[in-house]
Structure 1
Amino acid sequence: MARARRAPGGGCRVSAGSGSAPRVLVADDHALVRSGIVGLLEAADLEVVGEAGDGLDALEAARRLRPDVVLMDIRMPGLDGIEATARLTADPGAPRVLVLTTFDLDEYVYRALRAGAAGFLLKDAPPERLVDAVRTVARGEALLAPTLTRRLIERYLATPQPGASADPAPDLTPREREVWLLIARGMSNQEVGERLFLSEATVKAHVTRLLAKLGVRDRVQAVVAAYESGLVRPGEAGSD
């Protein structure tokens, strides 16, 4: 059963500095794993508002507690983390979902990102990497930089998906298309700006318009769309 974090004297437990800290819900079916993650996040002054032991509990807790970020395990009883992510991100104003798992499998990564996850991180990542990942997705960014994520997306999308359009967004400007291809190759806004001789603010504006025209939630979804449509082929990530 999902539960909110409670202070000894009653009420929701709030970590030091929580006025600006992301509010986090931790969903994992192993109590010891949850406890370790919670301790790590709270030590970094992040506010853990609740815990859940399966996908259904995670949905209920997220809708009740309104966290900024849900740390979602994949393999959980009842409703797995991928389906829970899909249902959760379909809601207006949904929290960001960061998938945290021990399973380094192509299909899991692709399905999680396709379901609307803002990023993917393995549980053996360094503690500071997890904290940085939570802060990153809480800011509305996508955790797409790690080579692992790009590699797994490429391996799963070896060919365009059946029925994919050759050009899902024909109204993109030439500059927006350039930006799309570069972020699909794993470049950050700063790297895109350096490549195209644009300011980072200008790149952000292009990305915002790009996401709107593609009808996707964030840059992770934009990358998935680029691979699905065949506009970027496996092996092109990081190429000039």
Structure 2
Amino acid sequence: MIDVLLIAPVRVYREATLEALRSQPTLLLVGSGGTAAEAVSAANRLRPAVLLLDLAVPDSVAAVRAIRSGTPGTRLVAFGVEDTRPAREVVIAAAQAGVAGFIDAGHSLQDVVAAITGVVRGEAPCPPRIAAWLLRHVQCAGTPQGPVRGELPASLTVREREVLLLIAEGLSNQQISERLVIGRATVKSHVHAVLRKLGVTHREAAVRVLRTPGGAEGGAGGEVPPRG
């Protein structure tokens, strides 16, 4: 039998899911909870084979990191994934943190059981829609962007570098949002951080930093509103 721990924030939904899973002869429900702290505590105490984690739990990604660090033998399956841009960001972050599989928001009990048994076998169950998000993210992160002649400050994060290179391609905030599968508000935040760290006041000046050897240049001219 497979030891399973369930973490979901909505009590009614959690109890209904527990009742459904108890009917499965191959599963043994060892505990449940509704918060990230309960997930980490229970995982460390019970060390289940699989932890079912609803991504609607606040700080769910941080919980994934902590569980992967403290209980590396526990495989995590994330469920309750809605088709929204913020959900895509959480999915990508959860995958990077160590989630082994995903289940759509419209899942059936059969889908849940299949995902649990799949991760125990070393598989990575993932609905096609979520797999497409992850694939696009990997493709964007690994796409060659051409030579960068200027040196970028070490203070730029990996994501900020990605955003800067996409700005240099002429992409608007909306296009960057779609390419990286992140929200437009997140893109705007990264753009402002890039401009500040490069010491420039508009996008065109930031692009010139890439094209000119010698590092960042001071901003010239007025603020140009972010494209989008």
Query: Considering the TM-score relative to the shorter chain, is it more than 0.5?
Result: yes
Which ranges in structure 1 are unaligned for 5 or more consecutive residues? 1-20, 164-240
Number of aligned residue pairs: 140
Aligned equivalents of 2:130, 2:57: Cα separation in 1: 21
What is the aligned partner in structure 2 of residue 142 from structure 1? Answer: 124
Which structure 2 segments of 5+ residues have no match?
143-157, 160-228
Q: C-alpha distance in 2, partners of 1:101/1:131?
A: 15
CA distance in 2, matches of 1:30, 1:65: 22
Out of 73, 76, 91, the position equivalent to 1:94 is: 73
The farther-off stretch of 58-67 and 147-156 is: 147-156
Distance in 2 of aligned mates of 1:149 and 1:69 = 20
Q: What are the residue-to-residue correspondences of 1:184-203 with 2, within 5 Å?
A: none
Map of 2:6 onto structure 1: 26
Query: Residues 153 and 102 from structure 1, CA distance in 2 versus in 1: closer, same or farther, beyond 3 angstroms?
Result: closer
Judging changes above 3 Å, is the alpha-carbon distance between structure 1 residues 66 and 36 closer, same or farther for their aligned structure 2 residues? same
Give the corresponding residue for 1:153. Answer: 134
Question: 2:78 corresponds to which letter in structure 1?
Answer: V
Question: 1:96–1:138: 8 Å Cα contact kept in structure 2?
Answer: yes
Residues 187-211 of structure 1 show CA distances to partners (whole Å, capped at 9, x for unaligned) of xxxxxxxxxxxxxxxxxxxxxxxxx
Q: Of the two, which has the highest radius of gyration?
A: 2
Moved more, 146-155 or 41-50: 146-155
CA contact (8 A) 2:44 2:70 kept: no
Q: Tell me if structure 2 keeps the 8 A contact 1:103–1:122.
A: yes
Percentage of pairs with the same residue: 29
Identify, as 1 or 2, the structure richer in helix. 2
Indicate whether 1:106 and 2:85 are aligned: no
Quick one: distance in 2 between partners of 1:99 and 1:43?
Answer: 21
For 1:125-136, what aligned pairs fall within 5 Å after superposition?
125-136=107-118
Q: Specify the alignment match of 1:122 in structure 2.
A: 104
Moved >4 Å (runs of 4+): none
Displacement after TM superposition at 1:157 (Å): 4.1
Give the match's secondary structure for 1:29: coil
After superposition, the Cα gap between the structure-2 partners of 1:93 and 1:158, relative to the gap in structure 1 and judged at 3 Å, is: closer
Letter in 2 for 1:114: Q
User: d(CA) in 1 for partners of 2:68 and 2:19?
Assistant: 26
Q: What secondary structure, in the 3-state scheme, does the structure 2 residue paired with 1:100 have? A: strand
Q: Alpha-carbon deviations, 1:86-108, whole Å to 9, x = none?
A: 11112354300000124233212
Alpha-carbon distance change, 128 to 65 in structure 1, aligned in 2, over 3 angstroms: same
In the alignment, which residue of structure 2 is the partner of 1:180?
none
Alignment RMSD (CA, Å): 1.9
Contact 1:88 1:94 in 2 (8 A): no
SS of match in other structure, 2:70: coil
Q: Which residue of 1 aligns with 2:44?
A: 63
TM-score by structure 2 length? 0.57
Return the offset for 1:119.
0.7
Match of 1:54 in 2: 35
Distance 1:33 1:92, change over 3 A: closer
Superposition TM-score, scaled by structure 1 size = 0.54
Separation (CA, whole Å) in 2 of partners of 1:60 and 1:70:
12
Aligned residue for 1:134, secondary structure, equals helix
